[in-house]
Amino acid sequence: MVPALLVRVRVLFWGIASFAVILGGLGLPSLALAEEQGSLLTKHDIKLYGFVDVSYTQNFNHPDTSPGTNSLRIFDVDSDAFRVHMAQIVFEKEGKTGGEMLDRAGFRVKLNFGEDSQFTGGSDFGDETDFQEVYVQYVAPFGNGLDLRLGRQNTLIGFEVIESPYNPNFSRSWLFGLGEPFTTTGVRAAYAFNENVSLAVGGISSFTQGTGDTNSDVSLESALSVSLHERLGVTGFLFWGNEQARNTPGAGDLILGGGIVTVDVTEQTSAVVEAYYANQANASTISPAGNSRWNGVAAYLIHDFTDQWGVRVRGEIFEDAGGARACGGTLSPPRAGVCAGATAGAASPLAPIAQTLWETTFTVQYKPVPPLITRLEFRYDKSNKNTFQDGVNASNNQQTLALEVIYLF
């Protein structure tokens, strides 16, 4: 345990040192020097912020795997163990809609350290270190301002995101973890027609939760957001492109379409529903030359009793009809989407399994002070197949209890 912790400390130190070298390479002063001079960060509205995220998860199935792994989870994969999820540093300047050219130009560099960085979809340039987002921005003086961005960014698709503090629950949904991209690389244009309607369209290189591209084709990603009322918002999203699925190099176009409805019931209570349907030609891992299909719906109820105390409830159903999205992981890092029977370092994942998954998640959130977020979460998972690990046996269900602590800075 101690040697592993020392390795992570060294990785964290190396990553921070690398970040300092990057800043030096850009000709930027150190943070201490910038604070002393009071020039760079204040003059150009450059921001530096981030968070640290750690947790402990207890799996009541006590899976007999090495290492202990929660089946079909995305980032909370460690069973009966602590996990250093992420230490994230964001260095950015947001482009503005008015002013001179320098005011309209911007950038973002988002650097992750920790175990989750192995699977955040950026450029994994070291053990537990990853550039999740790196892009440059320019807001062109067209109408209300045309926001242009080039580089790697978080996807436009879906309600949940990689960063845990910005999600209502600790664990991620299957809609997010199994069926949607995490980050995309390419060019994106966004335009707000007015305060109620905005559109974003991007030409990107891949649809994947991991790193790298599967082919040289460019795919389309888009999102249209409409505020129908001060308490009601709707976002529709679409992905379309020629993307290869796992173990199916002859796969054709992938089309994913869906939407998110957000309702502010009261000032303290909100409800969110996300649903989508995805289909990819010739990508089924079960039926030769058949299409792969996955779809699902997730509903969230978010209530804050006070500024400190709140509860979040999520219910979800996810169908992997073609067997191409779930059970593709192994017991080697990063271990996401692992099903019962997986082994460490396997040359190929388990045999494809078509299944329908259900889960219900209850989260209690408490903020002792504004920068500190603590969460206690119970989650119940179920499948119509025996894909969860229960001791040495396969099971159709799984229950976990997790404690998460996040510090924002």
**Distance between CA atoms of residues 173 and 312, nearest Å:** 13
Peptide bond into 63 cis (omega under 30): no
Residue 397 phi/psi, 5-degree rounding, is -150, 165
Q: Can you name the residues that pair with 315 across neighbouring β-strands?
A: 299, 360
Tokens read off for 319 = 């169908």
Burial of 240 (0-12, 13-18, 19+ CB in 10 A): middle
Give the per-residue pLDDT at 176: 96
Residue matched to tokens 């270190």: 129
CA dist., res. 184 & res. 213, Å (int): 10
Of the candidates 362, 372, 357, the residue with the CA atom closest to the CA atom of residue 407:
372
Contact (CB, 8 A) for 149 and 137:
yes
Reduced to 3 states, what is the DSSP secondary structure of residue 362? strand
What pLDDT is attached to residue 334? 80
Report which of 210, 227, 362, 351 is spatially closest to residue 285, judged by C-alpha positions.
Answer: 351
State the 10-residue block means of pLDDT for the chain, 409 residues long.
42 41 37 40 78 98 94 95 96 92 94 89 66 95 96 94 97 96 93 97 77 69 96 97 66 90 97 96 75 94 98 98 87 87 74 92 97 98 96 96 98
379 CA to centre of own chain: 19
| Predicted local confidence at residue 98, as pLDDT | 86
**What is the distance between the alpha carbons of residues 327 and 339, in angstroms, rounded to a whole number?**
5
Contact 202, 221 (CB under 8 A): yes
- So what's the pLDDT on residue 218? 85
Which residues, at least 6 apart from 33, have a Cβ–Cβ distance to it below 8 Å?
none
**Residue 178, phi then psi, degrees to nearest 5:** -105, -25
- What single DSSP character describes residue 157? S
135 token code pair: 């892009």
- Burial class of residue 375, CB neighbours in 10 A (0-12, 13-18, 19+): buried
State residue 291's pLDDT score.
Answer: 81
Asked if 106 and 114 count as a contact pair (C-beta separation under 8 A), the reply is no
Q: What is the pTM of this model?
A: 0.86
Structure tokens at 35: 């604070």
Residues contacting 286, CB < 8 A, separation 6+ = 322, 323, 352, 354
Q: Of 361, 343, 359, which Cα lies nearest the Cα of 351?
A: 343
